[in-house]
């Protein structure tokens, strides 16, 4: 009887620990949402729709999120434009064209990139990429959206390569065999049979990569110049949502409007990455079933 009681207790403890993940997610929404909620009551959410982010001012502070959101979108869009061809290209090369030993070296080597801390990548950007951009485009400063995008692409590429490569490799050999038997060349088979068959996995990989890009903080903060302006030019300095929180949180008074506005930025980020993640999971499920 004692053994049965013990079994039940262990089961209960494990059940309780498994619930902590759910509690943490709820906790994140509650504690980030709580401050954002206060902001919604006092200055009101309308304040966030403005096009000027000027949290410290002698006349009137304004907390318009538009420049921050467009900043994040610009950097993310540019990073995605770089990530997609490089990520898919490398994944196709590694899975279909590389020799076996070459593959065994290339994949882990690219995955090493994922483990380099973002602040180190940001530092590299600062000392190498920023001066390079400045001199090659003749700009007054190299701290631009483009610099941020290149670094973010570097951070997204390992995710995209790794997951896409798995997806491409899990395409059944019979598909390729059928295509080759019908007289298609190797490259035709890759681009018209293998890659389309692996597409849900590749799309999921890109989504997860973008999720990482939107949420990245340190590297972006170090190289984008952090000017809160609305622009579509890759050669302008921008300020992303993540960098705003990281840079300003140290200087705000607890409970001030500015403090709460930063939590509002956090909620926007949270919802954006949450949405992307859900979509990515839908695609991943599709490719695992297919």
Partner 1 sequence: MRTVASQNIIAWLIRVMTYLIVFVIASIIIKIIWNGLPVINWEFLTTMPKRGGSEGGILPAIVGTMSLALGTIIVALPLGMATAIYLSEYATAGRFTRTVRLAIVTLAGVPSIVFGLFGLGLFVIFLRFGASIIAGCLTLACMILPIIIVSSEEALRSVPKSLREGSLALGATKWQTIYKNVLPYSMPGMLTGSILGIGRAAGETAPILLTVAAFYLPRLPKSIFDQVMALPYHLYVLATQHPDIEKVRPLQYATALVLLALVLGVNLVAILFRIHIRKKYRW
Q: How far is it, in rounded angstroms, from Cα 271 to Cα 27?
A: 14
Interacting residues with partner 1 between 34 and 63 (CB under 8 A): 34-35
Q: Which of 74, 193, 197, 214 is close enough to bind partner 1 by CB under 8 A?
A: 214
Query: Binding to partner 1 by residue 127, rule CB under 8 A?
Result: yes
The secondary structure of 16-41 as a DSSP string is HHHHHHHHHHHHHHHHHHHHHHHHII
Q: How far is it, in rounded angstroms, from Cα 64 to Cα 126?
A: 29
Q: How far is it, in rounded angstroms, from Cα 179 to Cα 191?
A: 11
Unique residue bearing structure tokens 């089961």:
11
Q: Which of 21, 59, 140, 174 is close enough to bind partner 1 by CB under 8 A?
A: 21
Q: How far is it, in rounded angstroms, from Cα 193 to Cα 174?
A: 11
Q: For partner 1, which is the closer residue by CB, 32 or 74?
A: 32
- CB hemisphere CA count around 156 (13 angstroms): 33
Q: For partner 1, which is the closer residue by CB, 51 or 185?
A: 185
Interacting residues with partner 1 between 164 and 193 (CB under 8 A): 185-188, 191
Q: Which of 2, 15, 58, 60 is close enough to bind partner 1 by CB under 8 A?
A: 15
Binding mask 145-164 for partner 1 (x = CB under 8 A): ---------x--x---x---
- CB hemisphere CA count around 259 (13 angstroms): 10
Binding mask 229-248 for partner 1 (x = CB under 8 A): -------------x--xx--
CB of 287 to partner 1, least distance (A): 15
Interacting residues with partner 1 between 103 and 122 (CB under 8 A): 106, 108-110, 112-113, 115-122
Unique residue bearing structure tokens 């485009």:
137
Q: Which of 70, 148, 216, 225 is close enough to bind partner 1 by CB under 8 A?
A: 216
Q: Which of 48, 84, 94, 152 is close enough to bind partner 1 by CB under 8 A?
A: 94
CB of 41 to partner 1, least distance (A): 17
> Which phi and psi angles does 246 have, rounded to 5°?
-65, -40
Q: How far is it, in rounded angstroms, from Cα 79 to Cα 20?
A: 34
Q: How far is it, in rounded angstroms, from Cα 103 to Cα 97?
A: 9
């Amino acid at each position: 009887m004692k053994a049965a009681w013990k079994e039940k207790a262990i089961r209960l403890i494990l059940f309780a620990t498994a619930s902590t993940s759910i509690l943490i997610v709820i906790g994140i929404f509650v504690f980030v949402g709580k401050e954002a909620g206060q902001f919604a009551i006092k200055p009101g959410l309308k304040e966030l729709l403005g096009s000027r982010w000027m949290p410290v001012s002698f006349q009137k502070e304004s907390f318009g999120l538009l420049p921050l959101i467009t900043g994040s979108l610009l950097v993310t869009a540019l990073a995605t434009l770089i990530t997609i061809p490089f990520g898919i290209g490398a994944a196709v090369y590694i899975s279909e064209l590389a020799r076996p030993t070459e593959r065994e070296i290339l994949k882990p080597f690219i995955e090493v990139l994922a483990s380099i801390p973002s602040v180190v990548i940001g530092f590299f950007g600062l000392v190498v990429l920023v001066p390079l951009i400045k001199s090659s485009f003749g700009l007054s400063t190299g701290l631009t959206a483009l610099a941020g995008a290149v670094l973010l692409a570097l951070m997204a590429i390992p995710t995209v390569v790794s997951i896409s490569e798995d997806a491409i490799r899990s395409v059944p050999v019979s598909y390729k065999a059928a295509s080759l038997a019908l007289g298609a060349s190797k490259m035709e088979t890759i681009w018209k049979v293998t890659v389309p068959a692996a597409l849900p996995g590749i799309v999921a990989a890109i989504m997860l990569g973008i999720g990482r890009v939107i949420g990245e903080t340190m590297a972006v903060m170090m190289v984008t110049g952090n000017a809160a302006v609305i622009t579509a030019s890759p050669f302008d300095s921008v300020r992303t949502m993540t960098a705003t929180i990281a840079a300003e949180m140290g200087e705000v008074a607890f409970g001030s409007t500015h403090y709460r506005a930063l939590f509002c930025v956090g909620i926007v980020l949270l919802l954006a990455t949450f949405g992307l993640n859900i979509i990515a999971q839908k695609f991943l499920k599709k490719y695992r079933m297919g």
